[in-house]
């Protein structure tokens, strides 16, 4: 299933179904002369249980948009709703709480706290959320690591894992708190073909199972084709 995206807000899925929605996001980066208008009015909505692939040339603003959606950065203009709730711009505590409860994030480059084992890394978000007991957290972390194919390396420290393994631990960690939204910036960038497919299937499978909305940035057209929606981006805007 594939639909053209970059829909104007009037065509966006209705707010009741959209777990994540944004309207008219603008973001400039840099100072003075070097300032770049990176995002030029992005609107978009994501529904539970669906997978969205964000594609586009390097430097078009995919990561920048993902940071805004992940509440790691604040837009110059525009609004973001999570589960129908408008995210405040300057209430850091509310944004932090929303990150812990609703959002899972897989970064493009830096992944793990290297002094912690794979298991501890996956447990970090759960410890902060405080929803589960210690044995439950350990069990969950173990199950998540097994599902990304690292069941045998749970006690390796971050710096004893390969780049691809670190990336998979990061995916397991992003899923730890059962977020309603998972944002992943090239989660399979460091993986071989077989592992990319495996991790990708894992992500999409989970989205359908748990009713999570997933937004994935990828350069791999094959993987993008397997998603429910493709969002092609160029020069800071979604294009049709």
| Residues binding ligand ATP (CB under 6 A) | 29-30, 34, 36, 38, 58-64, 108
The sign of the torsion formed by the CA atoms of 6, 85, 171, 64 equals: positive
Minimum separation from the CB atom of position 71 to other proteins (A)? 9
Rg (CA), the chain: 17
- Residue 227 near residue 33, CB atoms below 8 Å: no
Minimum separation from the CB atom of position 137 to Mg ion (A)? 31
- Residue 146 makes contact with other proteins by CB under 8 A: no
Give me the 154-173 binding string for other proteins, x by CB under 8 A, dash otherwise.
-------------------x
- Residue 107 makes contact with other proteins by CB under 8 A: yes
Secondary structure in 3-state letters for 103-155: EEEECCCCCCCCCCEHHHHHHHHHHHHCCCCHHHHHHHHHHHHHHCCCCCCCC
Say whether 239 sits in a helix, a strand or coil. coil
Q: Which residues on adjacent β-strands are paired with residue 215?
A: 52, 183
- Residue 91 makes contact with other proteins by CB under 8 A: no
Minimum separation from the CB atom of position 95 to other proteins (A)? 10
Residue 155 touches which of Mg ion, other proteins, ligand ATP, none (Cβ within 5-8 Å per kind): none
- Residue 63 makes contact with Mg ion by CB under 5 A: yes
Residue 60 touches which of Mg ion, ligand ATP, other proteins, none (Cβ within 5-8 Å per kind): ligand ATP
Minimum separation from the CB atom of position 196 to ligand ATP (A)? 16
- Pick from 22, 19, 3, 2: nearest CA to 212: 19
CA distance 152 to 131: 26
CA dihedral 49→55→58→61, nearest 10 degrees, is -60
Output the six-digit token pair for 240. 């049709």
- CA-to-CA separations, 158 to 49, 116, 140, 170, in angstroms, rounded: 31, 6, 19, 10
Nearer to ligand ATP, 59 or 221 (CB): 59
Minimum separation from the CB atom of position 128 to other proteins (A)? 5
Nearer to other proteins, 45 or 106 (CB): 106
Q: Which residues on adjacent β-strands are paired with residue 238?
A: 233
Q: Which of 2, 77, 89, 128 binds other proteins (CB under 8 A)?
A: 128
Nearer to other proteins, 13 or 100 (CB): 100
Which residues would be at the binding site for other proteins (CB under 8 A)?
Answer: 29, 63-64, 67, 70, 72-74, 92-93, 96-97, 99-101, 103, 105, 107-113, 115-116, 124-125, 127-129, 173, 177, 185
Which residues would be at the binding site for Mg ion (CB under 5 A)?
Answer: 63, 108
């Amino acid at each position: 299933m594939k639909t053209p995206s970059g829909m104007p807000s009037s065509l966006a899925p209705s707010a009741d179904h959209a777990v994540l929605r944004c309207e008219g996001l603008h973001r400039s980066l840099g100072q003075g002369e070097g300032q770049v208008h990176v995002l030029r009015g992005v609107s978009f909505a994501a529904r539970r249980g669906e997978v969205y692939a964000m594609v586009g040339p390097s430097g078009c603003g995919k990561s920048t948009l993902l940071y805004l959606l992940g509440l790691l950065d604040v837009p110059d203009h525009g609004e973001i709703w999570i589960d129908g709730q408008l995210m405040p711009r300057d209430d850091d505590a509310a944004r932090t709480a929303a990150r812990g409860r609703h959002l899972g994030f897989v970064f493009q480059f830096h992944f793990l706290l290297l002094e912690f084992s794979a298991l501890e890394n996956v447990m970090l978000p759960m410890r902060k959320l405080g929803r589960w007991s210690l044995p439950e957290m350990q069990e969950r972390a173990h199950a998540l690591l097994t599902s990304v194919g690292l069941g045998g390396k749970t006690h390796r420290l971050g710096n004893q894992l390969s780049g691809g393994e670190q990336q998979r631990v990061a995916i397991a960690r992003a899923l730890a708190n059962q977020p309603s939204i998972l944002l992943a910036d090239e989660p399979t960038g460091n993986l071989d073909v077989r592992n990319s497919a495996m991790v990708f299937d894992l992500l999409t499978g989970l989205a359908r199972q748990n009713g999570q909305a997933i937004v994935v940035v990828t350069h791999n057209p094959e993987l993008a084709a397997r998603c429910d929606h493709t969002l092609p981006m160029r020069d800071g805007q979604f294009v049709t």
